[in-house]
Amino acid sequence: MRIALLGYGKMGRAVEAAAIERGHTIGAAVDDEDDWMEKLDEVRGCDVAVDFSTPATAVGNIMRCFDMNLPVVVGTTGWYDHLESVAHDCQQRGQRLFVASNFSIGMNIMFELNSRLARLMDSRPGYEVSISETHHIHKIDAPSGTAITLANDIIEELQRKERWVLTEGPGAKPARRLTRKTIPITSIREGEVPGIHEVTYDSDEDTITLRHSAKSRKGLAAGAVLAAEYLIEHTGICTMHDLLAAGESRR
């Protein structure tokens, strides 16, 4: 499988290493507009693209892939305000798109545990829920896409919560008033932390915490390569839920 890397920073290089380890080749690495102009034919010759670029360039990269009938796996977050329109285009044009806020297998297990715990807490109003996430100083968006996924999954299961709000971190608006219907999210940017996510339920009697800590980018990169392998055999819009379900069905 020939892979086009859209975004050739630390995550792009981690995907490159994971892909080569699984016997794939990198057909092109695109990191800016000049690269697109110089390497367009190389990208066209690939079987699939993997995007770990920036929130500002992700949508444009996706559309370019659609124009080339090139399946694209997107790990970039911070562009989800456009997800509905991108998904519509994907379906209308018969393209292939794999979107995930986090490609770590362990993190996706935590997503499942998070939803289950929220269901249990729906009948226990004495517990207040909050989320915190910590990433390296180079991460642009806050809160992380993973934290937003955790919050939205809680909102689906916990009837007393209706929205989330960033209360601390880049872009936070501390003046916004929290209510009982709000999930507060704290975003921390420090050092080279690959990613730590915590969901905490606190009551007068005790505290329950779900925590996932990535040790490196390797798990994320390996998951993205697995997603690329999955996508070239499927159509439409795919997620980690589809990938993990396929793995379960083969057991």
Please identify every residue annotated as catalytic.
135, 139
CA distance 80 to 25: 29
222: Cβ contacts below 8 Å, ≥ 6 apart: 18, 103
Instruction: Encode burial over 101-119: b for 16+ CB neighbours within 10 A, e otherwise.
Output: bbbbbebbebbeebeebbe
Rounded distance between C-alpha atoms, residue 54 and residue 34, angstroms: 16
**What DSSP character marks residue 217?**
S
- Alpha-carbon distance of 119 to 57, in angstroms, equals 37
Angle at alpha carbon of residue 211, lines to 206 and 215, rounded to 5°? 150
Give dist(CA 248, CA 193) in Å, integer.
31
Cα separation, 162 vs 183, in Å, equals 8
Question: CA–CA separation, 11 vs 1, rounded Å?
Answer: 19
Angle between helices 218-231 and 240-249 (to 10 degrees): 80
Would you state the structure tokens that stand for residue 115, as one six-digit string?
A: 């939803």
* Strand duo 48-51 + 2-6: pairing: parallel
